Amino acid sequence: MTLESVLPFVLFVIGVFSRVFLPWLNERRKNPDLPWSWRYIWPQLVTAVIVLALVPLFFNLQNLDTMKPIPAYLSGWAAADVGREIDKFIEK
């Protein structure tokens, strides 16, 4: 395995964790007593796994291992964001 083939996967994971933790850290900055809850995290992680596993099977998308760094990172962010939006929709 070369760095060029592993880097997109690493950036995808960093994108997912950025989408998960940056909003929480921003809220935590405003309210230092804000507790951590896995309840808001699991939908984002499940959606990211689904994107990695199932979307390439159904759509003719570019493989993640051949993506450039910025699209790989943004794909991770978008996968987690879709999970959060689905969770907010279900909560209503």
Is 53's pLDDT higher than 70? yes
Q: Tell me which residue has tokens 């493989």.
A: 63
What is the per-residue pLDDT for 16?
92
- Could you give the CA distance from residue 60 to residue 14 in angstroms, rounded to a whole number? 24
Is 70's pLDDT higher than 60? yes
- Could you give the CA distance from residue 5 to residue 26 in angstroms, rounded to a whole number? 32
How many residues in total does the chain contain?
Answer: 92
- Could you give the CA distance from residue 20 to residue 45 in angstroms, rounded to a whole number? 9
- Could you give the CA distance from residue 7 to residue 70 in angstroms, rounded to a whole number? 11
Q: What is the pLDDT of residues 74-87, one digit of tens each?
A: 989 998 999 889 88
Q: What is the pLDDT of residues 29-42, one digit of tens each?
A: 999 998 888 887 88
What is the per-residue pLDDT for 62?
60
Can you give the pTM of this predicted structure? Answer: 0.81
